[in-house]
Amino acid sequence: MIFVERIEDLSFNEGITIVVFSWTITCLIGSIPYLMWGGEFNVINAWFESVSGFTTTGSTILKDIEILPKGLLFWRSSTHWIGGIGVIMFILLILPYSQNPRLTLINAEMSELSKGNFKYQARKILQVLTYVYIGLTALETISLMFAGMNFFDALNHSFATIATGGFSTRNLSIASFNNLWVEIIIIIFMTLSGIHFGLIYGTIIRDKLNIFSSQVVRAYIIVLLIGSALVAIKLYSSNYFNVGDSIRYAFFQVISLGTTTGFATIDTNYWPAFTHIILIYFTIQCAMVGSTSGGLKFDRIFLFFKSIRKQIKLIYHPRAIIVIKIDNKTISEQLERQTLVFLTLYFFVFFITTAILTFMDIDIYTAFSSSITTIGNVGPGFNKVSSMGNFSDLPGLGKFFLTINMLMGRLEIFNIIALFMMKKTF
């Protein structure tokens, strides 16, 4: 008889293989309801819609959303909600138990607070953040119903908001309701969903580190406000809208893209070029680590500028030992380097995707914004894929490459690369 040593923990190779293939298989299974319905859903369109849903991207190939039966609309929104909580569960379940050094490839995804909590209270925090996720969904659903939405629309839009996804039950997205209170409620919950869930929990239990004490949260909110104000000023000064409407549209669209939710209250395609630049920036930056948001993550941008400041100081004081701290936690030089590598790789991937799409004779603005919005899991872009447009007219191969972009963005790029570079999987 041969005895085999029992292994309790998954290795990093095993963990990353399971995660990547689980996401792929889930998206394949998720496309089946679309194929059964038919209509606009051929194989590539069903795959696109499924991947877009589970990765909480929110891009769609549908020209007429409202023709779908309620069951399929609910499934479509549910893929967002499942995908959003799935990412948080992956981090909580995999990270605490793996000691493989190569796990540092994904350290930039998490704040120091998260790593500390996950290391010592992984199972409890998993439960807590699940309750926060469900609690925010229930609270928004109730709030939207009070604002005038029916239960079905309220629940579906809550799924999409808390997951920062963006699938709507209406062709015109949130613009269809033309309800200021609905927009305000969604703005509030989009902002909350873009904040680290651990900090939200810390606020609930009155922990020392919470959304009010965190310097990253303060900086994140300030940047959103500045971006929204700049867009509003430009819209008003260019005589697009009056003061009230300029503020209303600007704040909703900036926060929608800045949290990777992707809801729309107006077609931004016809806005001034300056506003497009601001919106593209937020499509790249996005929200915080530890949330359901995609993109580069604001924490990385925050750390990047801290690193620039550090390097400038070192020019004047070459022998100085300068330590970067965020929320009173020291950031290692290794994490600084990882952040820089991730930023570089991120831009490289969407540059390559843009080149591939333009090779298919897709115009540069559509190709560029499609690449950015899919790798960032944001949803809408510009030109053919604007906030009131869709991805239906793109060639099938182009749609396929964009789904790869979505998965790479959701799995933090490094995880995909690590899967193909590992020498031994098991």
Gyration radius of the chain over CA positions: 21
User: What's the pLDDT score for residue 115?
Assistant: 52
What is the Cα–Cα distance from 372 to 19, expressed in whole angstroms? 24
User: What's the pLDDT score for residue 123?
Assistant: 58
Among 198, 246, 192, 240, which residue's Cα sits nearest to residue 220? 192
User: What's the pLDDT score for residue 22?
Assistant: 81
What is the Cα–Cα distance from 20 to 30, expressed in whole angstroms? 15
Type of residue numbered 377: N
Tokens of 153: 């629309």
Type of residue numbered 169: T
Which range (8-17, 36-45, 249-258, 307-316) has the least confidence?
8-17
| Residue listed under structure tokens 């069903």 | 46
| Residue listed under structure tokens 């020498």 | 423
User: What's the pLDDT score for residue 210?
Assistant: 86
The fraction of the chain above a pLDDT of 70, given in percent, is 85
What is the Cα–Cα distance from 357 to 354, expressed in whole angstroms? 5
Q: How far apart, in Å, are the Cα atoms of 336 and each of 302, 305, 306, 315?
A: 11, 11, 9, 18
Task: Assess whether pLDDT exceeds 70 at residue 281.
Answer: yes
- CA count, 13 A, side-chain hemisphere, 129: 28
Tokens of 392: 């239906």
Mean pLDDT of the chain: 86
Span 271-299, mean pLDDT?
A: 92
Q: How far apart, in Å, are the Cα atoms of 322 and each of 316, 330, 338, 342?
A: 12, 11, 18, 22
**Per-residue b/e over 118-150, b at no fewer than 16 CB within 10 Å?**
beeebeebbebbeebbeebbebbbebbeebebe
Span 252-276, mean pLDDT?
A: 95
What confidence tens digit (pLDDT) does each residue in 309-333 have? 988 988 888 888 888 888 778 888 8
User: What's the pLDDT score for residue 117?
Assistant: 39
Residue 274: band (very low, low, confident or very high) from pLDDT cuts 50, 70, 90? very high
User: What's the pLDDT score for residue 116?
Assistant: 42
What confidence tens digit (pLDDT) does each residue in 361-404 have? 999 999 999 999 999 999 999 999 999 999 999 999 999 999 99
Residue 112: band (very low, low, confident or very high) from pLDDT cuts 50, 70, 90? very low
Residue 208: band (very low, low, confident or very high) from pLDDT cuts 50, 70, 90? confident
Which range (113-117, 201-205, 344-348, 389-393) has the least confidence?
113-117
Residue 224: band (very low, low, confident or very high) from pLDDT cuts 50, 70, 90? very high
What confidence tens digit (pLDDT) does each residue in 62-89 have? 999 999 999 999 999 999 998 887 755 6
What is the Cα–Cα distance from 93 to 89, expressed in whole angstroms? 6
Task: Assess whether pLDDT exceeds 80 at residue 141.
Answer: yes
Is pLDDT larger for residue 393 or for residue 122? 393
Task: Assess whether pLDDT exceeds 70 at residue 182.
Answer: yes
What confidence tens digit (pLDDT) does each residue in 346-356 have? 999 989 999 99
